[in-house]
Structure 1
Amino acid sequence: MNGDDTDGFLGGRLRLRQGRGHRAGHDAVLLAEAVSPTQTGLILDVGAGAGAVGLMAAVLAPQARVGLVEIDAASCALARENIDANRLAERVTAHEADIANAASRRAAGLVDGAAAVVLTNPPFYEAGRVRVTPDAAKARAHVAAMSLADWARAALALLAPGGTFIMIHRADALADCLAAVSGRIGGVSVEPLHARPQAQAIRILLSGVKGSKAPLALLPSRLIQATPGRRE
């Protein structure tokens, strides 16, 4: 892998080729850092693209196995290249699959109900709500072909009972995010993320546990510019 066309994450512990579509940055770092460093079992990065979130999670949680789940063949090939380049092939696997299709998930080697953690940074917009860029690669990353509720339902099918679901999304999509996971996970916590002091939140980290009946918790806000491990 040529260092001239790669991006560094986690203080240079991970190098990533990203292609011409969406380029991972702070959102990916924040989502990956939500995983406990002592996490074991299987972590799935759903909608993985070139693998930024899942590969960072593999670096940060060295006892876990990681699956990168991506529908786009070119992005999945790039994810496999990144796995090999970072010498993580013993613990990380890329799965080319349509998460909304149970047969596609099975054909890609995914087992429903097997993941200890599901991480996801879904496309932030739904088709029909925004103008779609003519760049097909960027359009796939930013505009979902399914509703957020359908995305969450498919991602949660992969999660084991008692497993943890973690999603990052736009702060102004909070109502949609809560509706998407309602009745599917409990113990939901929402952490507002701000780019500047006294400014409105621009992102939320939402997490919850499959099968939990615990109530919703609103966590203290956090400034994301101070996040360690930011992209370099």
Structure 2
Amino acid sequence: MRASARNCGVCEPDRLLGGRLSLFQPPAGHRAGTDAVLLAAASALAAGDSFVDVGAGVGTAGLAVALRCPGASGLLLEADSAAAELARRNAALNGVGDRVAVVEADLFARALHRPAALRPEAASLVLTNPPFFDAGAVRPSPNPARAAAHVAGPRGHGDWLAAAAALLAPKGRLVMIHRPDALPALLAACEGRLGGVAIRPVLPRDGADAVRILLAGVKGSRAPLRFAAPLVLHGPDGAFTAEAEAIHRGDALVAV
């Protein structure tokens, strides 16, 4: 299947999860990779559940969840119009356009200005791969789409988590992937919102410092914080570990 280069700037879809997921992506800017794959693999749903992928980009994580959970429906929330258009194309391309809608809106917009589909306290699951850096912490990319994907606006990491958690129904679950140095702000934002918070460090190789964390929590839970065993991505030879390879093929989930 081909897309018009005039309309979306790409001609052939990329294929992830062992070919299960096809994605039109922009030739320049942020592109889907391990972060989105891990986030989707950590996001479990049951038949009849609903999800919101917050900051969905071209839809990678949310569409992977929808493909794995055919009885679930969801929203891909994305503020960038070009990315949102690709997300719509990708939902149709993967045959889930009847149960996955794209909402082009700002997560921080007042409820009055949000599309009706984006209702507070309604989702069974919210998953999110937010911008990793605060404004001013790094030099942003000259590519506007890449800069928006990597650098947050005036809101901080905790603000993003709080706004995402507001979309959850009581007992709904939030799953996020982020950098380890964001953990203090994220845990502070969980207070009074999420309980049963679990953290799973993601290591590039055994014995190395974590480069990512997966954080999961349940709205209204009073269960204590826990740390899960780390997920190691690469072996001594630089290749994926057996677990990481199975996750990237779409054959295994990530427990958090």
- TM-score past 0.5 threshold: yes
Residues in 2 aligned to 1:229 and 1:61: alpha-carbon distance in whole angstroms: 16
- The question of whether the paired residues in 2 share the 8 Å contact of 1:37 and 1:62 is answered with no
Displacement of 1:170 after TM fit?
1.1
Match of 1:160, SS state, is: strand
1:7 to 7, 14, 19: 14
Displacement of 1:37 after TM fit?
5.6
Residues 41-95 of structure 1 show CA distances to partners (whole Å, capped at 9, x for unaligned) of 1111000000001000101111110210000111101100111111111111100
- The question of whether the paired residues in 1 share the 8 Å contact of 2:103 and 2:115 is answered with no
Q: Which runs of 4+ in 1 moved over 4 A?
A: none
- The question of whether the paired residues in 2 share the 8 Å contact of 1:112 and 1:159 is answered with yes
- The question of whether the paired residues in 1 share the 8 Å contact of 2:157 and 2:185 is answered with yes
Residues in 2 aligned to 1:50 and 1:231: alpha-carbon distance in whole angstroms: 19
- The question of whether the paired residues in 1 share the 8 Å contact of 2:66 and 2:72 is answered with yes
Bigger CA drift: 111-120 or 99-108?
99-108
- The question of whether the paired residues in 1 share the 8 Å contact of 2:45 and 2:72 is answered with no
Q: Structure 2 matches for 1:14-33, cutoff 5 A?
A: 14-19=21-26, 20-33=28-41
| RMSD after superposition | 1.8
Residues in 1 aligned to 2:140 and 2:122: alpha-carbon distance in whole angstroms: 35
Question: Percent identity among equivalent residues?
Answer: 48
- The question of whether the paired residues in 2 share the 8 Å contact of 1:65 and 1:91 is answered with yes
1:118 to 116, 120, 126: 126
Residues 181-219 of structure 1 show CA distances to partners (whole Å, capped at 9, x for unaligned) of 222100000001111111111111000000111110011
Larger Rg over CA atoms: 2
- The question of whether the paired residues in 1 share the 8 Å contact of 2:129 and 2:178 is answered with yes
Structure 2 unmatched runs, 5+: 4-10, 234-239, 251-256
Match of 1:58, SS state, is: helix
Q: Which residue of the partner structure matches residue 61 of structure 1?
A: 69
Q: Alpha carbons of 1:105 and 1:164: their partners in 2 closer, same or farther (altered >3 Å)? A: farther
1:230 aligns with 2:237: no
Aligned-partner residue type, residue 32 of structure 1? A
Match of 1:87, SS state, is: coil
2:49 to 41, 66, 69: 41
- The question of whether the paired residues in 1 share the 8 Å contact of 2:134 and 2:156 is answered with yes
Residues in 1 aligned to 2:146 and 2:110: alpha-carbon distance in whole angstroms: 25
- The question of whether the paired residues in 2 share the 8 Å contact of 1:98 and 1:105 is answered with no
Please give the TM-score of this superposition, normalised by the length of structure 2: 0.85
1:103 to 85, 104, 111: 111
Aligned residues: 232
- The question of whether the paired residues in 2 share the 8 Å contact of 1:33 and 1:60 is answered with no
Bigger CA drift: 213-222 or 101-110?
101-110
Residues in 1 aligned to 2:53 and 2:61: alpha-carbon distance in whole angstroms: 7
Displacement of 1:105 after TM fit?
6.1
Displacement of 1:231 after TM fit?
7.0
- The question of whether the paired residues in 2 share the 8 Å contact of 1:49 and 1:79 is answered with yes
Displacement of 1:108 after TM fit?
5.2
Please give the TM-score of this superposition, normalised by the length of structure 1: 0.94
Q: Which residue of the partner structure matches residue 191 of structure 2?
A: 182
Match of 1:125, SS state, is: coil
1:209 to 218, 238, 245: 218
Residues in 2 aligned to 1:105 and 1:115: alpha-carbon distance in whole angstroms: 19
